[in-house]
Amino acid sequence: MKKVITYGTFDLLHYGHINLLERAKALGDYLIVALSTDEFNWDSKGKKSAFPYEERKRLLSAIRYVDEIIPEENWDQKLTDVDKYGIDVFVIGDDWRGKFDFLKEKCEVVYLERTPEISSTKMKTLLNH
């Protein structure tokens, strides 16, 4: 079984997220989503999610491409997750291009093109107007 992993906050879930998850799942048989915890988002990323972790997890678990959800609690866990879960393919949006090349020693690294016209940031801006 070919295992794929991706990471993100997945706040204000939208069709760009679905596109990413669908393409990530197409790269293997089993997709793990490491979902950023509220604490990690606030303490390390300096952002507050519109929805708490458990609600974001509930939304993600309803998507057919997602096989398992684990908490993302820190930047460094990517290296250990690859070993812990037997990951074959690490997938992330191309806005992170090059940032995770260090994982290539352990698995394939794929940077997927983002859906350009949509993002959670754009949605938050629209909601605030």
Catalytic annotation present for 106: no
Q: Which of 47, 48, 99, 104 is catalytic?
A: 47
Q: Which of 3, 25, 45, 78 is catalytic?
A: 45
Residue from 108, 23, 28 nearest 63 by CA: 23
Name residue, tokens 């290296």.
79
Question: Rounded CA gap, 124 and 50, in Å?
Answer: 9
Whether 73 and 55 have beta carbons less than 8 Å apart is answered as: no
The answer to whether 30 and 67 have CB atoms below 8 angstroms apart is yes
Tell me the C-alpha distance between 78 and 19, whole Å.
Answer: 22
Q: For the purposes of burial, counting CB atoms within 10 Å of the CB of 99, is it exposed (0-12), middle (13-18) or buried (19 or more)?
A: exposed
| Residue 45 designated active-site | yes
Where in the sequence numbering do the catalytic residues fall? 45, 47
